[in-house]
Each structure stands twice: as C-alpha cells, then as structure tokens.
Amino acid sequence: MAERRAQPVGVADGDFVLDESDAGTTLAAALRRRMEGRSWNDVRRLVETGKVRMNDVVATDAAARVAAGARVAVVMAAPRPRPEVPGFRVAFEDGHVVIIEKPAGVTSVPYERKDSGTALDLIRAHWRRAGKRATATPLYTVHRIDKDTSGLLCFAKTRLAERALHDVFQKHAASREYLAVAHGAVESRRIESMLVADRGDGIRGSARRPTQQGAQRAVTHVTTLRRLRASTLVRVRLETGRTHQIRVHLSEAGHPLVGETVYIRDLLRAGGTPLPSPRLLLHAATLGLPHPVTGEPIELASTPPEDFLTALEALGGSRADV
C-alpha cells in the first residue's frame, strides 16, 4: 500500500489534521512535511513567533511531540506572543480557580478604573498567549497580597468558587506561609495585637486600646531560619490575614522588613540605618486551601523569584536557605 503523502501547506494560512505518520514526531517535523520549500529554521521560526496553533492553542515549542488527530493551523498574521513578565507563573488552574505567582511591584487588583499592569492583567495576557479568549472568563478577587510582596495569589473564575473561597479566606481556613528578611536578630515568637488603620501617626499599627473602634485581632507566628550579617531570614505563618499584618508586626517588634519603605519610622527614630534592598523582602511561599467545588486539598509552594534571591545573597544568605 502506497504511503499517503502529507497534504502540503503553502506560505499562506492553512490548517490540517495530523495523521498516524505524524504520531511521535516533533511539531516542526510535522509542519515541514507539509510546507514544501521551507527549511528547518523557517519552520521553527513560525512556531516560536506564535504563527502556529495546535487544537486552538498557540504552540511555541517546535520540539514538542505530537499525536495523530491533533488539528494544526498556520496563521501568518498572528501577532508575536509577548514574553511572560519575569516572576509571573500560573501555579494552578482549572475551570473554577487560578492561582499565580505574582511578581513584586504588581498590584493584585486595580484600585482605579484606569489602572493597568495588575495581576488580573497578567492572567489575561497569559490566556491570550495561550490562544484563549481572555475576556470571556471572569476573574473574581478572593485574596490579595501587597503590591511589593511576591508569591502565591488566588482568584476565582466562577461565582460558585468565589462564594466558597471568600468563606475560606474570611474564616482564615487557608494555610499561608511567607519567607521574609527582617532587620536585626529576630527570635522565633508569636505576635498578637489589635490592628487599626491609623495607630495615631497616619499609618497602620497596633491599637493602644484593644477596644478602639475598627481594631481587628491579628496573630502572626515567626520562625527563625537563619541569622545573616545584620538581618534574619524568617518563615512567617499567618493565623489571621490583616492588611500589612506581617510588615506591621515585625516593625513594631523592632525588626522591620528589609526593603520596607512605610513601616520604617520606628527604626529611624531609634537611630537605625535601613539595609539597602531593591525590593521588599517578603514572599508568599505557600498556600493551602480546599478546592471550592470538589473539596480536594490544593497545596502549593513557590520558590522566591530571582530579585529576592539576589538580595538575600547580598545580605549574606544563600539560595539553599529557602
């Protein structure tokens, strides 16, 4: 029986279904069989510049192995995919939930309508690169981390998931641990106070009176990991999740985070000199919660990004410490 010759695809757009003779070969090989006159470099460049879709998803790996039955489309007018923002990664996603690793310097959500470059924007840009309809899927805020904090951040994709996850975070049922570097020699300890939006000098802090209006109970567990030259690498577990809770508690304990720009007044008043750092050294390293629909546990861990690790090394730490 004569071998069936692959249908050629010209320079213009074309689409085809992979057959048994393509099974196990690379995407580049399957394309080149059908693109007469094209070199290996030409075919790889088409893939790497986002001109090829497989099963309606942009394929950017020319060396990916393919299977019979997959539909491949060549779209010459497709835009070149933008690279991911450094430090951004989708850590978990299904039909109800998406959990990302957020870079430092990116807000979780827009605070004004014109705000852009938020974590929501990064997710939608990621979906566009994958060939998905980025505006067709809603994103609901159920969890936030500070703009200057990197690490794991959760969003809901359905109203059902939003309601369940809102309940999880409201009841402090999610397990969350952070890695941080704080000034001085930090001892392992438990910190509890009542936090208010204004402690009396215009910034968040602990209330002088537990009954002060708007005061919220906040509990932070600090574990020393390694003493550095003039600072300490710590692991912090949140029992509650108040705004700026870790930053406030460590600052009021005399150990503001390295890279802190807001909760640094007490250190300066005491004559201390802040250690230099290009960013706030606070990273949301773990997140554990029940899936909002199935109830199955989701347990995720995130290694600090390169900017955190470089700053840690400059302070006398090691990448092996985290």
State the catalytic residues.
Answer: 146
Angstrom distance (rounded) from CA 119 to CA 110: 9
User: What contacts 24, CB < 8 A, 6 or more positions away?
Assistant: 65, 66, 67
Cβ partners under 8 Å of residue 86, min gap 6: 103, 305, 306
Structure tokens of 230? 């003039």
d(CA 48, CA 52): 8
Bridge-based pairing state of the strands 150-156 and 175-183: unpaired
Asked whether 321 and 181 are in contact (CB, 8 A), the reply is no
Of the candidates 235, 269, 263, the residue with the CA atom closest to the CA atom of residue 247: 263
DSSP string, 116-151: -SSHHHHHHHHHHHTT--TTTS--EE-----TT-EE
| Calpha distance 189→107 (Å, rounded) | 30
Distances 268 to 78, 195, 228 between C-alpha atoms, Å: 54, 22, 21
Instruction: Characterise 87 by phi-psi region: left (phi > 0), alpha (psi -120 to 50), beta (else).
Output: left
Tokens of 250: 């460590």
